[in-house]
Chains A and B, each alone.
Chain A
Amino acid sequence: MLRFLIKRMLLGTLTLFAVSLVAFGMFFMLPRDAVATMCEKNCNAERLERMRDELGLNDPLLDQYTGYVKGVFVGRDLGSAQGGWCDVPCLGYSYINNEEVSDIFARVIPVTLSIVIPAAILWLGLGIGLGMLSALKRGTVFDRLAIGFSLTGASMQLYFVGGILLIIFVYTLKILPPPRYVSLWESPLDWAAGLVLAWVALAFLFSAVYARLSRAQMLETLAEDYVRTARAKGLTKSKAYGRHALRAAITPIVTIAGLDVGGALGGTVITETTFGIQGLGRTAVEAVRLGDLSTIMATVLISAVFIVVANIVVDLLYAVIDPRVRLG
Chain B
Amino acid sequence: MRTRAALAAAGAVALVVALSACSENTNQESGVDTDRKASGVIATDPKDSLGPAPEVPGAVKGGTFTILRETKISHLDPQRIYNFVGLNTAPLYSRFLTTWKDDGKGHVTLVGDLAETPGVNVNNDCKVWEFKIKSGVKFEDGSPITSKEIAYGIARSFNPDLAGGPTYIQEWLADTAAFDTKWDFKANKTSLPPGLTTPDDKTIRFEFAKPHCDLPFAASLPSTAPLPPAKDTGVDLDGAPFASGPYKLTKNTAGVELVFEKNEHWDPATDPVRHQYPDKFVWQFGPDATAQTDRIIADGTDAATLGWNGVATSRVAKVSGDAGLKGRTLLEPTPSANRLTINTQRVTDLAVRQALNYAIDREGLIKSLGGDYVASPMTTLMPPSTLGFKSFDVYPAGKNGDIDKAKATLAGKTPELVLAISDDSGDQEIGTQLKNNLEKAGFKITVRTTPADSKLDDTKKKDNPWDLYLDSWAADWPSGAAILPVLFDGRSIKAEGNSNTSFINNDAINAEFDRVLALDPAKQADEWAKIDERIMKELAPAVPLYADVAFYIHGTKVGGLYIDSIFGYPAFTRAFVKQ
Contacts and interface: CB of A to CB of B under 8 A. Distances in A.
B361 interface: no
B230 interface: no
A268 interface: no
Interface string B123-167: 000000000000000000000000000000000000011011011
Interface stretch (B285-293, B315-323, B527-535): B285-293
A290 B178 contact: no
A81 B234 CA distance: 8
Interface stretch (A91-99, A131-139, A207-215): A91-99
Contacts of A37: 9-10
A254 interface: no
Contacts of A166: 291, 294
A39 B6 CA distance: 10
A26 interface: no
Contacts of B298: 170-172, 174
B163 A43 contact: yes
Given A80-B161, A178-B301, A278-B286, A286 B178 contact: no
B309 to A, nearest CB: 11
Interface string A265-308: 00000000101111000000010011100000000000000000
A225 interface: no
A180 B284 contact: yes
> Chain A: interface residue count, which band?
35 or more
Given A98-B235, A107-B255, A178 B287 contact: yes
A39 B164 contact: yes
A56 to B, nearest CB: 15
Interface in B240-292: 253-256, 284-288, 291-292
Nearest to B305: A178
Contact of B497 (A44, A98, A108): A44
Contacts of A46: 178
A91 to B, nearest CB: 15
A286 B10 contact: no
A41 B286 contact: no
Contacts of A39: 163-164
A44 B288 contact: no
Contacts of A291: 453
A181 B255 CA distance: 11
B256 A178 contact: no
B297 interface: yes
Contacts of B180: 47
Contact of A107 (B10, B74, B256): B256
B11 interface: yes
Contacts of A107: 253-256
Give the most central of A47, A181, A276: most B CB within 10 Å.
A276
B302 A178 contact: yes
A38 B163 contact: yes
Contact of A42 (B166, B256, B291): B166
A51 interface: yes
> Chain B: interface residue count, which band?
35 or more
B439 interface: no
B2 interface: yes
Contacts of B235: 80-83, 98
A104 interface: yes
B57 interface: no
A2 interface: no
B211 interface: no
Contacts of B199: none
A171 B295 contact: yes
A81 B180 CA distance: 14
A276 B70 CA distance: 8
Contacts of A103: 254
A228 interface: no
A82 B163 CA distance: 11
Contacts of B295: 170-171, 178
A258 to B, nearest CB: 29
A44 B178 contact: yes
A270 B251 CA distance: 29
Contacts of B1: 41-42
B177 interface: yes
B399 to A, nearest CB: 34
B284 to A, nearest CB: 7
Contacts of B212: none
A50 interface: yes
B236 interface: yes
Contacts of A84: 234
Give the most central of B71, B82, B238: most A CB within 10 Å.
B71
Interface in A164-185: 166-167, 170-172, 174, 177-178, 180-181
A104 B161 contact: no
Contacts of B238: 98-99
B574 interface: no
A162 B196 CA distance: 57
Nearest to B298: A171
A38 B163 CA distance: 7
Contacts of B287: 178, 276
Interface in B410-463: 453
B472 to A, nearest CB: 13
A38 B164 contact: yes
A29 interface: no
A284 B12 CA distance: 17
A43 B6 CA distance: 12
B160 A273 contact: no
Contacts of A42: 1, 166-167
Contacts of A171: 294-295, 297-298, 300
B547 to A, nearest CB: 21
Contact of A278 (B11, B181, B285, B302): B285
Interface string A29-45: 00000000111111111
A177 B295 CA distance: 10
Contact of B10 (A45, A170, A290): A290
Nearest to B451: A31
Nearest to B297: A171
B74 A41 contact: no
A318 B191 CA distance: 69
A286 B160 contact: no
B160 A50 contact: yes
B364 interface: no
A177 B178 contact: no
Nearest to A98: B238
Nearest to A82: B235
A21 to B, nearest CB: 26
A44 B180 CA distance: 12
A290 B234 CA distance: 24
Nearest to A111: B256
Contacts of B288: 273, 276
Given A41-B2, A44-B497, A278 B10 contact: no
B255 A104 contact: yes
Contacts of A167: 294
B72 interface: yes
Given A51-B160, A178-B295, A99 B254 contact: yes
B51 interface: no
B234 to A, nearest CB: 6
B239 interface: yes
A41 B82 contact: yes
B284 A40 contact: no
Given A107-B254, A180-B286, A286-B11, A45 B497 contact: yes
A44 B164 contact: no
20 contacts: A40-B6, A40-B9, A40-B10, A41-B164, A42-B1, A42-B167, A47-B180, A54-B160, A80-B161, A81-B160, A82-B235, A97-B74, A171-B297, A171-B298, A174-B301, A180-B284, A273-B288, A276-B286, A276-B287, A278-B255
Given A80-B235, A171-B298, A286-B71, 10 more contacts: A41-B164, A42-B1, A81-B160, A99-B238, A166-B294, A171-B294, A174-B298, A178-B291, A290-B10, A290-B11
Nearest 8 CB-CB pairings of A with B = A276-B287, A171-B298, A81-B161, A39-B163, A276-B291, A276-B286, A40-B10, A174-B300
